[in-house]
Structure 1
Amino acid sequence: MPVQAPARILPHAPLLALLAAWLPGCGTDSPGATDCGTASCSATATATTDTSTDSSTTGPGLCGNAVVDPGETCDDGEDCGAGVCNSDAYTGEKYCNAACTGLYPELCGDKALQATETCDAGGNSATCDADCTPVECGDGLLNPAAGETCDDGADNSDAYDEAPDQVACNTACTGTAPRCGDGVCQEANEDASCADCTCGDGIVSAPETCDEGSATPTCDADCTAVECGDGQHNPAAGEECDDGNTIDGDGCRNNCTTCGDGIPQPGEECDDGNAIDDDACSNECVKPRLVFVTSSDFKGNLGGLAGADMKCGTAGLTADPNLPAAAWRAWLSDDSGSPSTRFDTAFAGWYQLVDGTPIAKGWSDLTDGNLLAAINLTENGAAPGSPKIAWSNTTTAGATAGAKHCENWTSSEFDDIEGHFGTTTATNSDWTHLGDALKNPTNCSNSFHLYCFQDAP
């Protein structure tokens, strides 16, 4: 009698197939009766058509049912976000392998360069994005490690936006696109109505070099760096004044300080704190320089201009013992020089006699043809002896008057050797060059005085 397996003990088609294979001579090619030796195969044929409980999809057993069954270490199933699961193919993602025995080992971020990757730093780096592609501004992938602060992909822009709803990233991925409020004055698009273009808003924008909201020790109120002489008076930077020019003696010196506070500042020779100009300290804080006529008189052989300077230097030790002999110059001219070439012509202080009497203020006043007082006191403060004449050969402008200079002040001969002179009693041009052509010049055997000027502080 044929063997008929009860249906209740064969609930699964695989089990029936196994049984049919075990029974000798059984075939499963057709559902009809088959030669199974002494047994009928009709039961097994019926069993092989029941596949409703088979859930195996991508591998042996139950791998692929999205349930980690016994013997499996993972199972992503078939329907997963990447679209490829339980696979042995590279996609760049983490997923279970085809046998459900572990994760597929090749993925972006494992720091191992796969054939389909151009780089893999295990995340963002200076040269590689987290998706294993090279860093590129505009790819829509923000990579702070590469210096990107933003990346809007195709929306990156360098165009000025009048009123952006959402500020776009610039094309360098280093910040936002230009707009009002970005701290830069876009002069082609913005004016003072935009705070970026307003000095005093605390935002440095071209052409500003600074903007601290007000004048500070380093920034002027016009948003430029502090500079004496720019016309921006900045007390916060220590400027007492700033008249915007380079004239040192006009009340505001070139270091932006003023004279008259009683405290000598750098650049001041003195500061007596008063408004008396022709006293021991001028209103420009410059000390006066002394002038005298020598008590001694000399013939024309003075030893040249240098010899005459030495004679003034010797007498000057009496006029002011605190000054060196080299501080004095003789008011004398010849072929080698004149006061206009040898004196400090930039001096703007007072020339005074040894008793404080002012005779001129500065070089320009000294050479205008008239003195405030005659140079009629010696180094000792006394009147010079007669004749009250001084060798000179110098014009009122301080230039050489002519060729009558006792052979460059080296000769005391009587015959045909002459020199020009001035008179110590005059305040007009005669003080330096007597206008009486009948008397001036005269022979070099005469003994006359010398005018001596302090030429250094």
Structure 2
Amino acid sequence: MQLKIVPPPLTISSLALATVMLGPACDAAVEITVHVEVPAAPGVCGDGALQPGEECDDDIDNGPGARCLADCMLNVCGDGDVGPEEECDDGAGNGDTAACKLDCTFNVCGDGLVGPMEGCDDANEVDDDACNNECVAASCGDGVVQAPEACDDGDSDDSDLCTSACLAAACGDGFVQPDNGEGCDDGDDNADDGDCTLSCEPATCGDGLLHTAGSGAEACDLGPANGTGSDCSGACTLDVCGDGYVGGGEACDDGNTLDGDGCVADCTMETCGNGVIDAGEQCDDGKDGDWFDECTDWCTGPTCGDGLAHWALGEACDPGPNNEELGPCTPACQMAWCGDGYLWAGVEACDEGVNNGPEGACDSDCTLPLCGNGEIDPLEECDDANDDNDDGCTDSCRFPMCGDGIEQAGEECDGGPSNADWYECTKSCHVAACGDGLLWVGEEACDDGNTLDGDLCNADCTVPLRVFVTSATYTGDLGGVEGAAAKCQERAEAAGLGGIWRAWIATPTSPVWLHIDDSWYGYARVDGVEIGASLGGLFDGTIDAPIVVDEWGHTLGQFAVWTGMNANLSPAAENCAGWTMPTTTGRVGRTTATDAKWVDTGAANASSCASKRRLYCFEQQPE
């Protein structure tokens, strides 16, 4: 018999097996089907299959923080486990005033819910309302002005413009605030009759407020009206005669009640006409009405200029302040007339008094003398009554002379006031010329009064460029061509020669003709002796005189001079490495030579660069 297990005809949740047994001894096959019910294994949370009673089952992904918890329950807000999509979850501790809100999001400033550590939360970004952007409730002293505050400067200083109660500084608040213009502030005790006025100013005499309370003891106070002429004195006391203040109803007040001092005891003025000579009066005849006696009704003595013509005093007129030298009534109170010495404006041309006349500066009829009237008046040398300048008397009534601007016989020129010894027409009325000893500015460079060369002023009044040999000696390390030039400049300035100077020295890259200016007027030693007419003239191998004079004008003997040149003035190979090293050799010239040896004594005589030699220095053209 064979056993055959076949699957059941239906698949159900319980496993059913069919066993088929075949009997081997039977002739015919007999099939027996047996259904065996095998119970299925029970499901478990975490097997990945959703079983009854489970909300979820993510297999091995179940657990804390997952969508599906370890007990196959869905992770939801409020279960105490922070699941996906949740920021927090404190379980039963969730709340809109807690750190984790009911929707499992963190409670933050600006969400409109007042959470832990927040004093407020108005869900906006306005920083100056009742709740600022840090969720702190507004308060006086936080430096932010919020209703109902008038100000908030963040401090507790009551003497500035914002008090510690966040109120704007104001007179009467009891705090002295200088920036608000207050000098005092007694709060509710401020009063215009007290020590501190309603305007918070200390009570003072002259403020127009009667200060009687507190320390006040004023009898009156009329403000700016206090003082002279007022009923209230400058000390805020009532005015009385004799207090020294001229009050209302007083004509004077000299601080006493004595008569005879210009102010009587009742503070009225002692006036002219009372018959008493008071202070300031010259006389007092009681104002008798006679203006022309010895005392006027002004209590003054008669005087010229008082506007009264006192005949007894010899006055012919007296218009008072109108007396003047130029008017019809003179300062002496006499009528103006020709010869009185006063110029009557508009009537007289002149008036020299007793000096009027033919020989004076004013004629006897008070007219001015004129050149050309045929009479020799004062200040005139001659007067021939014509305007001919060539007849011995010019039209200005002067004898002809050099400098009068009129070219006369014997004069080469006459520029009048422009004649000058430095100009084209000299003070002696001669045309300026080279050799006259006068420097014609702009035309002559010099003028030594001769037309000879060799004296530092050429025959044509030009100046040769100067030359000297240095009194100092130097090694061949001169600092190059420019360093040598600086040494020449230094020696020239030490001797006060002025000008621009360069050294007569050469290198293969800087032959002498590149840095020595050609002279238009020749070269001469500083003692005036010429050595050559031009730069080109020095290239013929000779000079007219040896360069044996130093910058001070002292004559030297024979010395070697650094040159770095051949006899034809071309650069020599021996030049102390461009005059920058003391270890090679350099060509030299001889101070006493006038032939080619003045620049080159030969290669055989080249000097060690460590030895000290002199320099030829040549002045350059002015810049």
Task: Tell me, yes or no, whether TM beats 0.5.
Answer: no
Per the normalisation by structure 1, the TM-score is: 0.39
Q: Which has the higher contact order (CA 8 A, sep 6+)?
A: 1
Please report the TM-score for the alignment, with normalisation by the length of structure 2: 0.29
Larger Rg: 2
Higher helix residue share? 1
